Structure 1
Amino acid sequence: MKLEPELRTEFMAAADAAHRPASQVVRELMRDFIEQQRQAREYDEFLREKVERARVSMRAGAGISHAEVEADSSARRAELLRRADEGGL
């Protein structure tokens, strides 16, 4: 692994200040990076599957339109505001 000299110097100093061997810190960073990448891949796959299920549902006519969602949200918002006004909030 090639590192810029300044980065290596700062890293070694930080590891030393934490009273930890630099190799241990590098191993932890590598494990964390690998875990983050695994989680990102899993989330991407989850999202792809969710989107595909939604597309299938929409093609089957089981979905609702954007206009219907907006109308429902507006009605809910109006009801919440009405309740807040009645409650003196």
Structure 2
Amino acid sequence: MNDVTFTFRVDESLKGQFAAAAKARDRSGAQLLRDFMRDFVRQQDEAAMHEHWFRREVQIGRDSADAGNLVSAEDVESEAVAWREETRRKPKSAAS
């Protein structure tokens, strides 16, 4: 791994507060900044992977709908009614 220097400007008060907070945790500011950078890159990678997964799932659903693989609203409601009735009966039968 090639180390490089990353230089940026920050308010002097913030730098002092950050250095003190880092020292209180037995870490250097540079260590924390590297950790923060790694976490940010990881979060961005995870967000990109989720976005890719989501778009793929949506496309699969669209392709399925375009192919005619649909369930009518009436069928969905019928199944929901049956499910709700079954759910309501379970506590009664469990108490018996």
SS of the residue corresponding to residue 63 of structure 1 reads coil
- Work out the number of aligned pairs and report it: 89
2:33 aligns to what? 26
TM-score (norm 2): 0.79
From the superposition, tell whether residues 46 and 3 of structure 1 become closer, same or farther in structure 2 (CA, over 3 Å).
Answer: same
* Residue segments in structure 2 that go unaligned for 5+ positions in a row: 1-7
Instruction: Give 1:43's match in structure 2, choosing from 32, 50, 68.
Output: 50
Distance across 2 between alignment mates of 1:67 and 1:44: 32
- The 1:64/1:8 distance shift into structure 2, 3 A limit, reads farther
Structure 1 residues not aligned, in runs of 5+: none
- Which has the higher Rg, Structure 1 or Structure 2? 2
- TM-score normalized by the length of structure 1: 0.85
1:24-65 per-position Cα deviation (integer Å, ceiling 9, x unaligned):
110011001000000000100100010000000011111224
Q: Alignment RMSD, CA only? A: 1.9
Residues in 2 aligned to 1:38 and 1:67: alpha-carbon distance in whole angstroms: 41
Pair 1:70–1:26, CA change in 2 (3 A): farther
The one-letter code matched in structure 1 to 2:94 is G
CA distance in 2, matches of 1:12, 1:33: 20
Quote the sequence identity (%): 33
